[in-house]
Amino acid sequence: MRRKWRFLFLLLFLWGCVTYGRDFPVYPVKNIETNVTTQKEIFAHFGEPVRKGLDSGYETWTYSFHSYEMGQLRDSKELYVVFNKNATVRSYSFTSK
């Protein structure tokens, strides 16, 4: 019986606070300049991306952080960066809650 209570308590605790991704600073986003900011500078500010991919042949990096509390979204931010072939920022988008 005691084991069931421990499991129930652990389940409720984990359901209460859940995060996805890695938190990252927001202030460097305003300094990103297309065709100027380099891939190395993005890495220096934000670290390793959560996802890497390709968009029409251009490398993409995604930084994402979502925090849920009691099943509801509490904090959310996502930075999506597309790089030119010369490793400068081609375009980017940032969203937050």
Q: Give mean pLDDT, residues 86-90.
A: 98
| pTM score of the predicted model | 0.79
Tell me how far apart the alpha carbons of residues 80 and 77 are, in angstroms, rounded to a whole number. Answer: 10
Tokens found for residue 32: 């990103």
Q: Secondary structure of the chain: what % helix, strand, coil (to 5)?
A: 30, 45, 25
Give me the architecture of the 17-96 domain, per CATH: 2-Layer Sandwich (3.30)
Which pLDDT tens digit goes with each residue over 19-64? 788 999 999 999 999 999 999 999 999 999 999 999 999 999 999 9
